[in-house]
């Protein structure tokens, strides 16, 4: 579904993303993890057209979309959410989601109806008339997902939808994401919350300082020496092995 090859982008002297290649198969939940500043969000921005890559290619649904504008990529079926939530403040939850629904629906009534249906699916059904600016953090994260979902994407890129949520809120969101996949949407997650990565994703890539250092099923990756070193510092892998 999505094929990224040799993706690189430098900001000044800093190689934020350095030769990243990955393939996302259709119908799966996969994830991209890594410590803070590893380049995960930049990766998303490069894939979805918000930044232009210095090198590398992005192929989505068989078309080379490298250098395309974000709105065209979204129209082709790849939609991202933002780690720092970006609601249309001053507009209601219903109106926010309807903007996404309008991608395929010209009529206002149809878009509003679709918005309500999507709001129900992500658990915002009782907040339709609320101003997006008045939502809690958890609510805004759901709104991000809802707006993206309303465009009927083929591939959804979720950037840390669980960050800032408490454990019970995380428990609530996990089935929502699984339900989205069951509707036929492929999902690529960026996530810090390991519980979520372990439970949800079938395959994960680990990014550190712009480079991929490991990939595989999350449980195997979590035992990888390089990954432990990236997260906890060098030497920790050995100490854990002896403990």
Partner 1 sequence: MTKLLALLAIFAALFCAPLVIGSEFWLNTVLLALYAALLGQAWNILGGYGGQFSFGHALFFGVGAYSVAVLQVELGLSAWLGLVVGGALAAVVAVIVGFLTARYGLRGSYFALVTLAFAEVFRILSNSVSWTGAGEGILIPLDQRLAALQFPDTASAYWALWAITLACFLAVWRLERSRFGARLMAVRDNEDAAAAIGVDAMQVKLGAMALSGLFMGLAGVFYAQKFLYLDPAIAFGPEKSVEALLVPIVGGIGTLFGPLLGAFALHGVAEIARETMGDAPGLNMIVYGTILVCMVLFLPRGLAGLGKHVRRAFRA
What is the spatial distance between Cα 26 and Cα 23, in angstroms, rounded to a whole number?
A: 10
Please, are residues 219 and 227 in contact by the beta-carbon 8 Å criterion? no
Task: Name which of 50 and 231 has its Cβ closer to partner 1.
Answer: 50
- Tokens, residue 60: 């989505």
| 80 is a site residue for partner 1 (CB under 8 A) | yes
| 231 is a site residue for partner 1 (CB under 8 A) | no
Query: What distance separates the 2 farthest-apart alpha carbons in the chain?
Result: 64
| 164 is a site residue for partner 1 (CB under 8 A) | no
User: Under DSSP, is residue 81 helix (H, G, I), strand (E, B) or coil?
Assistant: coil
CB of 100 to partner 1, least distance (A): 4
Sign of the torsion formed by the C-alpha atoms of 137, 140, 146 and 149 = negative
The count of residues interacting with partner 1 (CB under 8 A) is 33
| 185 is a site residue for partner 1 (CB under 8 A) | no
CB of 108 to partner 1, least distance (A): 5
Please, are residues 131 and 143 in contact by the beta-carbon 8 Å criterion? no
**Mask for 19-48, x = binds partner 1 (CB under 8 A):** -----------------------------x
| 186 is a site residue for partner 1 (CB under 8 A) | no
Task: Name which of 56 and 87 has its Cβ closer to partner 1.
Answer: 87
Q: Which residues of 211-234 are buried (b: 16+ CB within 10 A; e: fewer)?
A: bbbbbeebeebbebeebbbbbeee
Task: Name which of 145 and 214 has its Cβ closer to partner 1.
Answer: 145
Strands 186-190 and 203-208: unpaired
Residues in contact with partner 1 by CB under 8 A are: 48, 50, 69-72, 74-75, 79-82, 86-91, 95, 98-100, 102-103, 105-108, 111, 147-148, 150-151
């Amino acid at each position: 579904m999505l094929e990224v090859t040799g993706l690189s982008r430098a900001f000044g002297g800093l190689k934020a993303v350095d030769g990243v290649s990955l393939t996302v198969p259709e119908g799966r939940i996969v994830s991209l993890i890594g410590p803070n500043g590893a380049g995960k969000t930049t990766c998303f921005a490069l894939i979805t057209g918000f930044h232009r890559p210095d090198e590398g290619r992005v192929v989505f649904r068989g078309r080379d979309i490298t250098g395309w504008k974000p709105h065209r990529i979204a129209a082709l079926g790849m939609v991202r959410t933002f780690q720092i939530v970006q609601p249309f403040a001053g507009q209601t939850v219903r109106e926010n989601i309807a903007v996404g629904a309008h991608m395929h629906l010209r009529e206002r009534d149809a878009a509003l109806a679709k918005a309500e249906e999507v709001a129900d699916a992500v658990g915002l059904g009782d907040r339709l008339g609320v101003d997006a600016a008045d939502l809690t953090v958890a609510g805004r994260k759901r709104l991000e997902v809802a707006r993206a979902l309303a465009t009927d994407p083929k591939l959804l890129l979720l950037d840390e939808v669980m960050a800032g949520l408490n454990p019970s809120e995380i428990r609530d969101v996990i089935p929502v994401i699984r339900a989205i996949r069951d509707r036929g949407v492929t999902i690529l997650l960026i996530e810090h919350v390991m519980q979520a990565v372990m439970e949800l994703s079938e395959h994960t890539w680990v990014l550190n300082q712009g480079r991929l250092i490991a990939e595989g099923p999350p449980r195997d990756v979590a035992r990888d020496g390089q990954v432990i070193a990236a997260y906890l510092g060098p030497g920790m892998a050995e100490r854990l092995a002896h403990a």
